[in-house]
Structure 1
Amino acid sequence: MWRSKSGIVTILLLSLFYLTLLPFLVHAVGMIGIGLSHDAADQSYLFAQDHVVGNAAMMLHISAGAVLVALVPLQLVRGIRQRFNRFHRGLGAVLIALALVTGLAGMIYVPLRGTIGGPVMSVAFFLYGVCLFTAALMVARMALSGDRNGHWKWGLRLFWLALGSWLYRLHYTLWYLLTGGLWSEPDFSGAFDLVQNFAFFVPYLVAVQIWIAIRHAAHREPLFRSP
């Protein structure tokens, strides 16, 4: 009975996630289309005329990031891990590759082009890229070394980092619905914008670390166990 209820909850949560993900994916596909057009620089500030490397980095960042966000929730579904272990491992390898590409592309783009929000946003987004890239490397390292506990710790960190782009937009959507955009400016210079530069990934990493520390102190097994 418990497993049945747990399965239903998982399905409902995944359905809700993918429902909220649709606008994000539509936006990503639209940006990819703009990036492939001949007048991309005229349609979006993310692209610039004759900036081949920067434009290519942004295209890779958007493309790999969108697929990463769409696939990463499947990695934490216990039923998939236990019944389809080969799929779980194969998907893990794909997600690591996507995270590495997403993080590296962002770290290339920011120094070359900067961000619309200025130095604070540039520093925050570059730091996010470093965290994403590092977490992906550590997940791979722990998996290859057979360290299941370390693999799950870094896997949880990577999970929340992988959702960063979606969380960033979700925060803004909820904030605008609740406040109408209070303390947010078109150039991302408002108080809310400045907080958001870090709020889409730092608090989640802190929460994961606290959770890990609590579990470790209680001498319990990881919440998401390997099969």
Structure 2
Amino acid sequence: MNRALFAATWISMACFAIYIVIFYGGAIPAHALDDWNLLLPDVYVKGAFVQTAAIAAHFLAGAVLLAIGPAQIVTGQRGTMPKLHRVMGRVYAIAAGVAGFGGLTYIVLQGTVGGTVMNIGFSLYGVSVIVAAIETYRNARRKQFDRHRAWAIRLVALAIGSWLFRLDYGLWLKAIHGLGHSHSYRGPFDQVMAFFFYVPNLLIAEMIIRRREPSSRSHVTLNVVTGAATVLVGTSTYLFAASYWWPHIAARLGIA
């Protein structure tokens, strides 16, 4: 069940990464940056060059994190592919720094659509990503591999936040019809989501770092929870791909 959840999550994250690169990245050469505002209100402001460059760097670096994060877990297990792990680790750390710095630059200069609460939540997220990236790389260089592993788990947990943010919103809009959400992203649900998309991830990461061998009963419970999560991720990915990702990709590529 763990492998099924891992595979479903990686596929979903890879699909989202492809969507980011083609739709958001593809808007740059197509001179169609207004398209960014279709799902993210006012994220692009005409004439704001620095803000646009900062958020573009955030988007594209984030796509790198989503695409190769799971691969880092695979290549790092038991040192199966050490050279590839080191090379991708450097790319991952740099991408995390670029994503965090780009997002923070945008918040300082432009601010988020959700106002003060979202500014605080997203800023803390960006700082956390940068700190985790630095500590992951620093401990690897010092060959303090236990600390490196701990910080790498935290970094991956943070990096998947952007993916979870979209999935959480998608599920909430489909299941609860957006209760507590407003178009300005200043509703009660939006204020909770300014922190919820990454704080629980960090708590789970700490549990993984400190985990002990579970009992047989815990194994059964874990399998049930993991199975349900796999179905949820698969369903959410299908809904998002069918409703948003693929239509936007097809439009950008001119596919009928």
TMscore range, shorter length: 0.7 to 0.9
Match in the other structure for 2:8: 16
| Alpha-carbon distance in 2 for matches of 1:114, 1:36 | 25
Q: CA deviation at 1:129?
A: 0.5
Q: CA deviation at 1:89?
A: 1.1
| Alpha-carbon distance in 2 for matches of 1:88, 1:30 | 29
Match in the other structure for 2:33: 40
Deviations 1:55-109 (A, max 9, x none): 1001100001011111101111268653321111111111001001000111111
Q: Are positions 1:25 and 2:18 aligned together?
A: yes
The within-5 A match list for 1:44-83 is 44=37, 45-77=42-74, 82-83=79-80
Q: CA deviation at 1:212?
A: 3.4
Q: Are positions 1:189 and 2:186 aligned together?
A: yes
- Seen in structure 2, the aligned counterparts of structure 1 residues 153 and 188 have a Cα distance that, compared at 3 Å, is same
- Name the aligned partner's letter for residue 26 of structure 1: Y
- Name the aligned partner's letter for residue 20 of structure 1: S
* C-alpha contact 1:35 1:55 (8 A) present in aligned 2: no
Q: CA deviation at 1:34?
A: 2.7
* C-alpha contact 1:74 1:80 (8 A) present in aligned 2: no
Q: CA deviation at 1:43?
A: 5.7
Give the TM-score normalised by the residue count of structure 1.
0.82
The within-5 A match list for 1:165-184 is 165-184=162-181
The within-5 A match list for 1:1-227 is 10=3, 12-21=4-13, 22-23=15-16, 25-38=18-31, 40-41=33-34, 44=37, 45-77=42-74, 82-213=79-210
SS of corresponding position for 2:27? helix
**Segment drifting more, 185-194 vs 58-67:** 185-194
Q: Between Structure 1 and Structure 2, how many residues are aligned?
A: 207
**Segment drifting more, 43-52 vs 113-122:** 43-52
Structure 1 gaps, min length 5: 1-5, 216-227
Q: CA deviation at 1:36?
A: 4.2
Give the TM-score normalised by the residue count of structure 2.
0.74
* RMSD (CA atoms): 2.2
Structure 2 gaps, min length 5: 213-256
| Alpha-carbon distance in 2 for matches of 1:24, 1:173 | 17
**Segment drifting more, 174-183 vs 123-132:** 174-183
- Seen in structure 2, the aligned counterparts of structure 1 residues 17 and 145 have a Cα distance that, compared at 3 Å, is same
| Alpha-carbon distance in 2 for matches of 1:18, 1:83 | 19
Match in the other structure for 2:220: none
* C-alpha contact 2:27 2:35 (8 A) present in aligned 1: no
Q: CA deviation at 1:140?
A: 0.7
Identity of paired residues, percent? 35
